[in-house]
Amino acid sequence: MVQAKTWILVKHFDGFPKDSDFELKVEELPEPKDGEVLLEAVFLSVDPYMRPFSRVRMKEGDVMIGTQVAKVLQSKNPAFPVGSHVIGRGGWRTHTVSDGADLTPIMPDWPQDLSLSLALGTIGMPGLTALFGIEEVLGLQKGETLLVNAAAGAVGTVVGQIAKIKGCKVVGSAGSDAKVAYLKELGFDEAFNYKTVGSLDEALKKASPEGYDCFFENVGGPFWTAATQQMKNFGRIAVCGGIATYNDTTPKTCPYPHLTMIFKQLKVEGFMQSRWEHKHPESLKRLMGWVKEGKLKYREHVTKGFDNMPAAFMGLLQGENIGKAVIAV
């Protein structure tokens, strides 16, 4: 009998998450039946989406949602041999019995010198989010200027680098000088610390006086208002996230953007990467190719120990990470 540790959402978050919102539980798992596998988590992901999605996709008492890279310990399913690795959506748990329906095998020929944790980041959901936002939503063209905020995060770092691969000018905003330095290291043309600039409007104007063709939006709040004012006519905005608003207890209001959107004839589209699930295999190969070629660099913020998942999640929401936040079991 295998014991699984799980992190339970005891109470829906009210404002910023607290330790008391989580509870560590142990459960006994049954032996896998025909068609089932027993998995052991190797790396687990914490992501900003978990904060708003927990409200709409979970009830109190559920295991926290999320993805993980797991190793197959026992198998009665020929599609998942013992010793192979998969991406699973079992949430915050160390062990899982699965019928395989929610599992994706790690892509074949994964390089030995590349950590499997990248399947949760640059060569995973965040990388796909960046790629589809740029190609499917924005239709970014060579020579255009792209703005991305939360630029030092798991998605933002990939957004900026893909835009550079496509021959674009890239401006990034992040929340610390260390993050800004990393963006410059990645090849961003301009980068600034939004927390220390005197005026967001002036910082955006200085970084690109001619304005922005495309804006990859991860933050919301006052940044949204400032950025829309700096868009070029017929500018395109991909709305991926709104981390500035996730922990609000009462909804924030901002200047209504209608006139700006009308006068500049802006196109604004919200999206989730799951819309293009049929393109995942080929798109992951493209991301892997760029990593192998050295065109797509990455950094991970690794927290050791399953017991530290809530702390890692809260740290992520406070912007402690550069690149993808992962938990190594």
The residue written with tokens 């330095």 in the block is 181
Q: Residue 213 has what pLDDT?
A: 98
Kindly report, residue by residue over 15-44, the tens digit of the pLDDT: 999 999 999 999 999 999 999 999 999 999
State residue 1's pLDDT score: 83
140 band by pLDDT with thresholds 50, 70 and 90: very high
Find tokens 């410059």 and name the residue.
Answer: 184
Task: Assign 202 a pLDDT band (cuts: 50, 70, 90).
Answer: very high
Two tokens, residue 163: 């835009």
The CA distance from 267 to 15, in Å, is 31
* Token pair 């992040």 in the structure block, residue: 174
Dump pLDDT digits (tens) for 268-326: 999 999 999 999 999 999 999 999 999 999 999 999 999 999 999 999 999 999 999 99
Q: Which pLDDT belongs to residue 122? A: 98
Longest Cα–Cα distance of the chain, Å, equals 65
Please list the residue range(s) of the chain that carry CATH number 3.40.50.720: 125-273
Helices (H), the chain: 50-57, 125-132, 154-165, 177-186, 200-207, 222-229, 258-264, 280-293, 309-317
Name the one residue in this structure whose structure tokens are 């770092």. 157
Token representation of residue 100: 């395989």
What is the per-residue pLDDT across 42-90, written as a single tens digit (0 to 9) for each? 999 999 999 999 999 999 999 999 999 999 999 999 999 999 999 999 9
| Per-residue model confidence (pLDDT) at position 252 | 83
Q: Per-residue pLDDT for 214 more than 90?
A: yes
pLDDT tops 90 at residue 182:
yes
Predicted pLDDT at 251 = 86
Q: In sequence order, what are the residues at sequence separation of 6 or more whose Cβ sits closer than 8 angstroms to the Cβ of residue 123? A: 107, 284, 287, 288, 291
Could you tell me the two tokens for 242? 């709104």
Q: Which residues contact 233 (CB under 8 A, 6 or more apart)?
A: 264, 265
**CATH 3.90.180.10 placement within the chain:** 2-121+299-328
What is the predicted pLDDT for the residue at 55?
Answer: 93
- 3-state secondary structure (DSSP) of residue 116: helix
Average of per-residue pLDDT values in the chain = 97
Tokens 């980041």 sit on residue: 121
Rounded to an integer, what distance in angstroms lies between the CA atom of residue 314 and that of residue 49?
12
* Alpha carbons 211 and 99: distance in angstroms, whole number: 51
8 A C-beta contact, residue 162 and residue 180: no
> What percent of the chain has pLDDT above 70?
100
- 182 burial type by CB count under 10 A (0-12 exposed, 13-18 middle, 19+ buried): buried
The pLDDT of 147-171, averaged and rounded, is 98
Distance between CA 327 and CA 239 in Å, rounded? 27
CA distances from 209 to 160, 204, 230, 276 (A): 19, 8, 9, 34
Contacts (Cβ under 8 Å, ≥6 apart) of 39? 70, 71, 72, 73, 86, 88, 90, 95, 96, 97, 98, 103
pLDDT in tens, 238-256: 999 999 999 999 988 888 9
Q: What percentage of residues in the chain have a pLDDT greater than 90?
A: 98
Domain 125-273: assigned CATH number: 3.40.50.720
Third-level CATH fold of 2-121+299-328 = Quinone Oxidoreductase; Chain A, domain 1 (3.90.180)
d(CA 154, CA 158): 7
Whole-number pLDDT of residue 254: 84
Q: What is the DSSP string of 167-218?
A: T-EEEEEESSHHHHHHHHHHT-SEEEETTT-S-HHHHHHHH-TT-EEEEEES
pTM of the model: 0.96
**Residue 129: per-residue pLDDT:** 98
Contact criterion met (CB below 8 Å) for 285 and 107? yes
